[in-house]
Amino acid sequence: MSIHAETRRLTTRDIRAKKRSGEKLAMLTAYDHVTAGLLDQAGIDMLLVGDSLGNVVLGYETTIPVTLDDMIRHAAAVQRGSRRALVVCDLPFGAATDPDTALRSAVAVMQHSGVQAIKIEGGVAAAPIVRRLVEQGIAVMAHIGLTPQSVHQLGGYYRHGKSEDAAQALIDAAKALEAAGAFAIVLEMVVPELAADITAMLEIPTIGIGSGPDCAGQVLVLNDLIGLGLKPPPSFAKPKADVATIVRDAASAYIAEVKAREPQRD
Ligand code: KIV
């Protein structure tokens, strides 16, 4: 494994240039300082402080209870831990309901965490929100397809873009978000052929999760990549490690060692 020690942080221009040159973009979530540092040393292009924080770290069933303060606290830790990756922070549920609210939320995240970009879930209706932030000099990553903050309105977690109308709605959303100034767009659980078509239609990079191999980049929840969780990962995530077993085994060995110690006599 190579350790990347560059100190210059990647910018949105670098990300766009990588897409133009045909280099695939690698993005992972991070929620804390140490993990951010390790992923940075490994050479990750972008770190996402996702509101998956709610499921993965805070133990909620959905991302809905995650607050702006939660996001700022963890984004600041990731920012401190990384030196090279472009750091993107999600605006959580309720923090981007209209352009003014989104701007206030994004300003708070940028000023108190130091991250370089904001991510917002939503289709065509999110375009005016993206435009407002971009006009104020904020780099925005869009997010369409499965948008977990809308899980109850969507009626569950499933693949998007299966019907002709649904596919057209995603194409329209992707184009509107690009026109609004997003520098990249996450395609979550989008039919792979449609994700490939959208990727070909846009200048900005698409970052896929569960959307096939033909996006300009890929993002994964770190815990799904390293096998660190209490539940099995989604089927599209192919874990490259089994950290849960390493943690359980180390804890078992420690417990056994402590329990086996002879009582000390004075
Ligand atoms: O919150 C998150 O981790 C995300 C990714 C799954 C794209 O939005």
Distance 50 CA to ligand 1 centre (A): 5
Distance 146 CA to ligand 1 centre (A): 10
Q: Kindly list the protein residues whose Cβ atom lies closer than 6 A to any atom of ligand 1.
A: 29, 48, 50-52, 90, 143, 186, 188, 209, 219, 221
Question: Model's pTM, two decimal places?
Answer: 0.95
Give the pLDDT confidence of 104-130 residue by residue, as tens digits: 999 999 999 999 999 999 999 999 999
Residue 188 annotated as catalytic: yes
Give the pLDDT confidence of 69-85 residue by residue, as tens digits: 999 999 999 999 999 99
Q: Could you state, in order of their start, the residue ranges of all structural domains in the chain?
A: 12-225
- Please give the class, per CATH, of domain 12-225: alpha beta
Please identify, by atom number, the ligand 1 atom nearest to the C-alpha of residue 52: 1
Q: Considering only CA atoms, which residue is closest to atom 5 of ligand 1?
A: 50
Distance 130 CA to ligand 1 centre (A): 18
pLDDT of residue 1: 62
Give the pLDDT confidence of 38-54 residue by residue, as tens digits: 999 999 999 999 999 99
Distance 237 CA to ligand 1 centre (A): 13
Please identify, by atom number, the ligand 1 atom nearest to the C-alpha of residue 188: 7
Query: Which of 27, 35, 48 has most ligand 1 atoms within 8 Å of CB, for mutation?
Result: 48
Of 121, 164, 188, 193, the active-site residue reads 188
pLDDT of residue 265: 72
Please give, one letter per residue, the 3-state secondary structure of 27-93.
EEECCCHHHHHHHHHHCCCEEEECCCHHHHCCCCCCCCCCCHHHHHHHHHHHHHHCCCCEEEEECCC
